[in-house]
Structure 1
């Protein structure tokens, strides 16, 4: 058994100051030394435990961060899944609506043609002095014309024809479309402001269909400015600083960071569009102009055409509510 002793030695001196002996005192300090060693061991154990706790804490922090990141990724994936599911449901609805619309349009088109021929025949045969009959027949002819416009819209929506792609002057298409709405601008006292970019390369597009897109958007903007206003049209090339998804018809149609696109930006000084209307603005048959003969198919067809060009159309109300901005982005090559 190991023991510890504390020994104290004191010298004894004589009268001549010479050491003549020693006094030795000893005490057993075994328990004290054992306690000291035990304390040392416990301190080392405690330091190891503290180190282990620090490491565990660090691991927990890393684990928490990883779990948080995974949760964020899962939430993002879930939102994307919901969005994709909604798009698939919407696409399926549009297919069904398209088939129904196409069938109805064909069934109605022929009888309308016969009625129109009958009205034209009666207009030629009746007495020219009978204004009331002439007026009634003219109103019938006008109503048939509106019905034909609806049928044309239904057919355009239900069976979009193949694109006739060719390298086209983008600004020329915009100018042509503006030329077609000049009378409407004069009627609504709308001033056209053109800011068409220079050195825009030719864009692979279907000239007629893209002209249809611009005419539709221009008319919507002009007719929204019932008290007059300004229609501004800008075109420019832009290098994207963000990824733009939901482009075109295919899953792989996505504008990537750094892609160069041609942009047409159309803004008006009308009352703007409310949030609830913006949410449904591309829905087929949705219109706020039913009393003015609107079919609710114009913007659906517009979106369809832009999609076919692997492009993107975005409609927003200005932050101050002083009008609407329509942005169309098309790839420089498709």
Structure 2
């Protein structure tokens, strides 16, 4: 069994300013304990009733989340943990497991409580350790929560950006191939020697068909039947291109339109004219698709900018609640689509702006909406309702899902730091704690009502701050 002296404790940075007689008192109240690698030091849920000073070795604190082990921290030589003066903790949130052979000085909590009255410097040192521990641990968990939220948003954004980006690449490549055909088509058109008086009516004819206001919406079967009919007509006129048939049907051409076109040009001109028309329509369609995909990317980038408020000050400013929620939904559109969620939005007209930090409020909407989507994940669908309205001197925001609900026995704990029912990798237990603190900082309130099939979070933010 090891022995320990006050000089040994003096080597621990946190205890260097504590008088030797107080350190000796601490040694006299405690006892030396040793642990082997793999040995459990304490279990989750055990009472927080000892103060432990690690003299040699190390151990890790872990918790079981969703059936997986999550490591919270590793403490080594010189660390002081367990009960500390004025700590409000009653139970241990995880279990302790020895990593390297460990020697510790363990002192009962009631003896450390006596030190508050007897030894000022010792108490001061231990309180300083506690405040550092709370600050560091909270900062770490908040960082984990932010990184987890960022990972979810990034995955959704990457998916949403990938589709239009891939469309641009694909259509740009097709457009290049289309443009390569222009010299050949020009030669064909030049060879038939159309007069300008013949070209203009054809252009007018094409535009009339493209701009028809009453184009029917075709089912897949109807579209396929029209394409087959179009292909038969083209083959009769020595044009073997199913791609052309698809393009003409997409734009709104019918066989009787081609009959009218045939009446306007000589028989030997039909094929070159149709090739010219098809190429013009294909080029126009590809450019339109590229324009639409580019617009989609631009909208997503704008949504990211609005969501993060990158170009705005961090201090409180007038914030449009509706705009913030819509930006958040755009960030999470991939998850909404993936989970087959039906959105029901009810935003009050002319809702006054709230004096707030926009980035903070977007964290609130992100956490509440993300939790609602996770709750409905097992439903193979669901309905997410979001509403805003004025309630006297407050703006009221309600976010409701039709998931399984929050069990009554844990409802009072959902805003506690580190409490989570999610599986490993899906949550750290800090999301609702962050939400609660942000709303308190804005002098608002948050309430939750839940029953099977309906969970509603109600946020109220004051208009006059």
**Shorter-chain-normalised TM-score: which range?**
0.3 to 0.5
Which structure has the greater CA radius of gyration? 1
Q: TM-score, normalised by structure 1?
A: 0.48
